[in-house]
Chain A
């Protein structure tokens, strides 16, 4: 039996995205359909051949409505992944598994969100107060940023990470966005002085430690490796996939286990690298989930790019910039391109391996894409021929 039946068996052959903005007129459903149609067109595959869907549980529109509108055929696989931005890469992973095992032939994963003009989820106090939030929110940790601020201060205390290092994370993303016309922050440069003088949102995290609030939608189309070679674009293979829900983990308030500073990334990483032909040192470029800047140093540690406690220093001396130790979030990421629950990190990973990024890493042939650290998470390792 093949010990790694998923490896390189499925490929992303189409990507699509709407424009990104603080406010877009169409509904989330309409935006989703447009992104999917663009991804199918990019792949050169007619909609009636689509027989699989994967999406986030937080997606507002279900598969029935999407399939009916875009003109999918008979659908034989459909899957939802929970935990907000932790599910991004799992949508791709689940489709890869479905295709590799013969449950489907043409898969579509998507994310459509009007987080820019729509409500902030944390203001929904009725649905947000169930276990374990009743042990945290009433005391004033109301928002995800407050929960991550607690972890960040502890990380700074234990390992000496500085605000300048978090600023270097924010600047790396902004610098890439400044070269990406699709990015919301395309024409908005950021300096370290701007970062250090910004207003606090949840001390020690300031405005620029937070991702954007964006309206937009994205989609990918996936087929088997055999079929991928006949598609319009160069295939980008799913080399490995991992999900991670660590033992005794608790949502985003990961304070109640032995080491809250080693989160779900560590679990997903173990699964990811177990089946890969290469390791962290061979990754040319990475798209790391960045709802908040400290998630990048924490993820770099979890996925093995540096030792525990060294994630902050990894950003020193341009470590995350083009030409640095590991160029990250080359479209600008959630911090500076668009925050669409990390799906724009997947499409940028594909562009890097096609050689079509606006911040192209020369000769990139491998890319790690991660979902949100701190919540139950997922990651995919992408490669090209």
Chain B
């Protein structure tokens, strides 16, 4: 599986994810929450950031179900759903991730036919070769 590339701007995301926290880059000057991370706040040009704790709640904004041809590791699991989740905090915070039947389940564990746009989800965390990222599971 592809491992996310950790760069200067996004590194804290992965450090917090390893602790089971979904945190987003936030401008220390004006409070704008930014995703994906970047070196400057586009609203006030601030260069100092905090990482704000999110509730981990959101809903499915859309999803795709890839079929082959795919990279071999992904083809082996296809078709699998990939969701874009709109975080409860801000509609522009839309995060791409996998929808899992439960925290330890695979990326092909949810039947795509059961997924609905708007359905509530909550963050769980999974490991990709030593790196932790948020994934999503159906919420009540």
Q: B67 is contacted by which of A125, A135, A139, A202 (Cβ under 8 Å)?
A: A202
Q: A135 is contacted by which of B71, B96, B112 (Cβ under 8 Å)?
A: B96
> Contacts of A117 on B, CB cut-off 8 Å?
none
Tell whether, in the assembled complex, residue B36 and residue A131 are in contact, meaning their CB atoms are under 8 Å apart: yes
Q: List 20 A-B contacts (CB under 8 A).
A: A131-B7, A132-B36, A134-B7, A135-B96, A138-B3, A139-B82, A143-B66, A147-B64, A149-B66, A150-B64, A153-B62, A153-B64, A202-B65, A202-B66, A202-B67, A203-B79, A248-B42, A255-B84, A255-B94, A256-B92
Interface bin, chain B: 35 or more
For A112-152 the 0/1 string (1 means CB < 8 A from B) is 00000000100101000111111111111111001101110
Tell whether, in the assembled complex, residue A200 and residue B96 are in contact, meaning their CB atoms are under 8 Å apart: no
**CB within 8 Å of B: which A185-205 residues:** 199-204
Q: B36 is contacted by which of A135, A202, A260 (Cβ under 8 Å)?
A: A135
- Indicate whether A200 sits within 8 Å of B82 (C-beta atoms), given known contacts A140-B107, A151-B62: no
- Indicate whether A142 sits within 8 Å of B36 (C-beta atoms), given known contacts A135-B96, A154-B61: no
**CB within 8 Å of B: which A140-185 residues:** 140-143, 146-147, 149-151, 153-154, 157
Tell whether, in the assembled complex, residue B4 and residue A138 are in contact, meaning their CB atoms are under 8 Å apart: yes
Number of interface residues of A (CB under 8 A): 40
Whether a CB of chain B sits under 8 angstroms from the CB of A257 is yes
Whether a CB of chain B sits under 8 angstroms from the CB of A285 is no
> Contacts of A143 on B, CB cut-off 8 Å?
66, 70
Which of chain B's residues has its CB closest to A135's CB? B36
> Contacts of B79 on A, CB cut-off 8 Å?
200, 203
Whether a CB of chain B sits under 8 angstroms from the CB of A250 is yes
Tell whether, in the assembled complex, residue A202 and residue B3 are in contact, meaning their CB atoms are under 8 Å apart: no
CA A250 to CA B128, docked complex, whole Å? 24
Residues on A lying within 8 angstroms of B by beta carbon are 120, 123, 125, 129-143, 146-147, 149-151, 153-154, 157, 199-204, 248, 250, 253, 255-258, 260
> Contacts of A248 on B, CB cut-off 8 Å?
42
Whether a CB of chain A sits under 8 angstroms from the CB of B117 is yes
Minimum C-beta distance from B40 to chain A (A):
13
CA A250 to CA B35, docked complex, whole Å? 10
Whether a CB of chain A sits under 8 angstroms from the CB of B133 is yes
Minimum C-beta distance from A110 to chain B (A):
29
Tell whether, in the assembled complex, residue B82 and residue A203 are in contact, meaning their CB atoms are under 8 Å apart: no
Whether a CB of chain A sits under 8 angstroms from the CB of B10 is yes
Tell whether, in the assembled complex, residue B82 and residue A141 are in contact, meaning their CB atoms are under 8 Å apart: yes
Minimum C-beta distance from B22 to chain A (A):
13
> Contacts of B69 on A, CB cut-off 8 Å?
120
- Indicate whether A123 sits within 8 Å of B5 (C-beta atoms), given known contacts A132-B36, A157-B62: no
- Indicate whether A142 sits within 8 Å of B70 (C-beta atoms), given known contacts A157-B62, A256-B35: yes
